[in-house]
Amino acid sequence: MTEHQPNNIPTVYNPREVEAKWYRHWEASKYFGAKVEKDKKPFCIVMPPPNVTGQLHMGHALDNTLQDILTRWRRMQGYNALWVPGTDHAGIATQAKVEEQLAKEGLSKYDLGREKFLTRVWDWKEQYGNRITTQLRRLGASCDWDRERFTMDEGCSKAVLEVFVRLFEQGLIYRDYYITNWCPHCQTTISDIEVEHQDKPGQLYYIKYPAKDNPEEYIIIATTRPETMLGDVAVAVNPEDERYLHLVGKSLILPIVGRELPVIADAYCDPTFGTGAVKMTPAHDPNDFEIGRRHGLPEVQVIDKHGKMNELAGKYQGLDRWECRKQIVRDLEAMGALVKVEDISHAVGHCYRCDTAIEPMLSKQWFVKMKPLAEPAIQAVKDGRIKFIPERFTKIYLNWMENIRDWCISRQLWWGHRIPVYYCQDCEEMVASITPVTECAKCGGKVEQDPDVLDTWFSSALWPFSTLGWPDKTPELEHFYPTSVLVTGRDIIFFWVARMIFSGLRFMEEEPFKEVFIHGLVLDAQGRKMSKSLGNGVDPLDVIESHGADSLRFMLITGNTPGNDLRFHFERLDGARNFANKLWNASRFAMMNLGDYDPAAKGSPYTLADRWILSRLQSAVTEVTDYLERYELGEAARVLYEFIWSEFCDWYIELVKPRLFGKTTPEDRVTAQHVIVQVLRETLELLHPFMPFITEEIWQKLPHQGESIMLAKWPQPEAALRDEIAEGEMAVLIEVITAMRRIRGEMNVPPGKKAEAILVALDESFRGILNRNISYLQGLANAEVTVLTELKEEPEQAASAVTRGVEIFMPLRGLIDIDKEIARLNKELKAVQADLARVEGKLNNQGFLAKAPAEVIEKEKAKAEELRVKATALQERVKMFSA
């Protein structure tokens, strides 16, 4: 048992000093490390890799706090716990950062060339890339930093090449001209799930497309994008729409351009939507593209990669797409082809990185065939081999996977995993290779590697096994795969979770994790997403500076339920800090009374308070463990908060003071010390995963065994210490003492004045409880207590209450100045009655009732009822004192 230092306890808890000290110690001592130990049950989590460009935000803080709680808990339970940290190379974002730097120097990436540009990016990564991992340390993340990975490190890159080549050789990766989402600012394709749809005001333009054979006849087309009509190649109608059947197979004339457009029939067209006829622009609309492929339509691209009209746009060439729209509308109006314009609100796709409106564009890209990969990933979830927590996210996952489209994996960037495909310049041979190819194996000609890189998510899809050494058969891969649980936000189920599942099943032939623990987003106090544009973000590092990491962690956990969003309130943060201070002060008091503590000393038998707190501790151990097993981390935190704040600090500490202060026998003091040490130590161990810093600081000052609370054994419930009788008796005492305190407070009895209390209990067992523990009643209510079977005559001027079948009478004469109290009560009553009259006047005012919102009226009614109750109570007290 390590000796404690009862005199070395600061009066005020300083999180800034304590947190830095202990994290340095933990990391230097390698407590976070995990080796392959086959005799220990593994527990493994892989961190969702934050972008190497990123800095800690509240979403990261919540996500990593949840992971840290689970990891610290399992480590204390004796699992071989490994939390693998790492960062993502963030292709688009990182390249943009470096290009911004170059622009300040008057340079572009083309001035440097690909190799020198990549050298600059690596330099940037070395300089800034560890910022977020440093910040995660401030939060207390107990990752195995010696195993930190990066999606473009040598091992992860090796895995990426292996996967690409295998999928290519299996025919699951192909290259084709296809409609994709193009970002004119980032100059690359982005996937469907990287497009953020924003509701924007817009216009719906109705345009006449005249029939070739009869210019007097026409079809009206409604479109939100007139500029794309320059790429129209057909008009489609529903095959059952009688309005247009006579025109199917005939041609219309494209206004302005004069191109003939065939009228085709396709069931995609909804006769009830708009005019029922749809212009076909296969190169600039994904739905038109699919219809065009079915009907063999040409694909005319009129917008270039910079969002400008190209040479096929005729006289509009060179115009920005938005300016072209305005000009075309003017020209349509001038020629009489514009029927009308309607103002609408519609969803417009934007790049999730730069917020530029994306442009659906036809281009030659690399794709992964998803159906063969999705099917086993769907089955794994349906079979229960992978479980979503909460279960409702299963439906969301399955719906997306069952309707999945092929994944566009090529990006027009330089930073990232370059596609390992080589093209012969002489014979057009194409080969995918893990190792670099210098010449064509077929003809010996010169080869060039594909210039594009892979989607960032391609590498992070392999994260659960690439971080453990795959494709090599490492001991870590054998021991820790599949990982135990994935902890992540609901916003990346499609981006990342689904892709890891089908990748793990394909290449490891086993699911990558058993459970997916989904949490919500951290919103501001008004329920809005935190964003730079709204200016409503809260920097976790600022919070750690002002309140401490433990307070931030505990605030994020309490009240948090799996899958649901969490609102950030500074009041709750202050509450978490108050909780930390409450724990510190109670622990400090306890430790100041342990100077002569001897674990071997023999004490007296347990008192009722001892039996009660030890029994309540067993309940806390059981409940916290059960909630953690069910991923109800918020409920586990609630149990700890209530046990520590109320039962331990507010009640047991107060109940035990007389024995610690030596007002009883030395043996009683010894027993009190033993109990307080056991309860406080085990409570700290339960709380440690949630608030690691303060618990380590206090635990180290307590008598303990071992080097760190991190390595302490997780508390186990002891059946012998469960005591329902003690809990029942203490419940009676707590309610009676609370009622006595309430009387003192309501009657303004000075705290230092000792009162008289008469307790009447008809029930013999209740009288026994009260009489056996009269010292508790007298000490905690500061009253001289008498317990009676019945009351022959009610005492004069006594306040009373009833609780648990016990009547409580507290005579007030001598405790307070009756005349002054009557005057004070009358003054307060007069003010309450004035407020009530004012509120009732409002409610009787027909003008107010007619104009005020319903919620305002209800609030006034509730206020009136509250004032009536208060007035009645004051009148009763005046009556009692005047008797």
pLDDT digits (tens, 9 = 90+) for 185-222: 888 887 776 778 788 888 999 999 999 988 889 999 99
CATH numeric code, 569-718: 1.10.730.10
The pLDDT value given to residue 2? 57
Assign a CATH topology to domain 727-816.
hypothetical protein PF0899 fold (3.30.2320)
Taking residues 393-398, report their average pLDDT.
93
CB of 878 within 8 A of CB of 826? yes
Q: Has residue 53 got a pLDDT over 70?
A: yes
Q: How far is the C-alpha of 706 from the C-alpha of 626, rounded, in Å?
A: 26
Q: What is the DSSP string of 329-341?
A: HHHHHHTT-EEEE
Cα–Cα distances in Å, from 195 out to 191, 290, 344, 454, 522?
A: 7, 19, 21, 17, 21
Q: Which residues contact 515 (CB under 8 A, 6 or more apart)?
A: 386, 387, 388, 389, 484, 485, 486, 631
Q: What is the pLDDT of residues 314-367, one digit of tens each?
A: 999 999 999 999 999 999 999 999 999 999 887 888 887 778 888 888 888 999
Percent share of the chain, pLDDT over 90: 68
Residue 883: its pLDDT value, please?
A: 64
Amino acid sitting at position 781: A
pLDDT band at 6 (very low <50, low <70, confident <90, very high): low
Task: Decide if pLDDT at 1 tops 60.
Answer: no
Q: How far apart, in Å, are the Cα atoms of 533 and each of 207, 530, 537, 541, 569?
A: 37, 9, 9, 20, 20
**870: pLDDT confidence band, cut at 50, 70 and 90?**
confident
DSSP labels, 614-635: HHHHHHHHHHHHHHHHTT-HHH
Query: In this predicted model, what pLDDT tens digit does every residue of 824-839 receive, in sequence order?
Result: 778 888 988 999 999 9
pLDDT score for 35:
94
DSSP state for residue 257 in the 8-state scheme: T
Around Cβ 570, how many Cβ atoms within 10 Å?
13
Of 383-392, 740-749, 832-841, 843-852, highest mean pLDDT:
383-392
**39-48, pLDDT tens digit by residue?**
999 999 999 9
Share of the chain above pLDDT 70, in %: 99
Assign a CATH topology to domain 819-882: Helix Hairpins (1.10.287)
Q: What is the pLDDT of residues 401-431, one digit of tens each?
A: 998 989 989 998 999 999 999 999 888 889 9
Average pLDDT score over the chain = 91
Sequence-distant (6+) residues with CB within 8 A of 521 are 59, 489, 490, 491, 529, 565, 566
188-360: which CATH number, 3.90.740.10, 3.40.190.10, 3.30.310.80, 3.40.640.10? Answer: 3.90.740.10
Angle at CA of residue 407, ends 406 and 409, nearest 5°:
145
Domains 188-360 and 819-882 share a fold: no
Summarised one tens digit per residue, pLDDT across range 637-666 is 999 999 999 999 999 999 999 999 888 899
In the prediction, which pLDDT does 193 show? 65
The predicted model scores a pTM of 0.84
Query: Nearest Cα to 362, choosing from 174, 176, 178?
Result: 178
Mean pLDDT lowest for which of 432-441, 784-793, 867-876?
867-876
For residue 31, is pLDDT > 90? yes
| Domains of the chain by residue range | 188-360, 569-718, 727-816, 819-882
The pLDDT-based confidence of 562 (bands split at 50, 70, 90) is confident
**pLDDT of res. 819:** 77
pLDDT of the residue at 182 = 86
pLDDT of residue 561: 85
- The answer on whether 532 is annotated among ligand-binding residues is yes
Amino acid residing at 339 = V
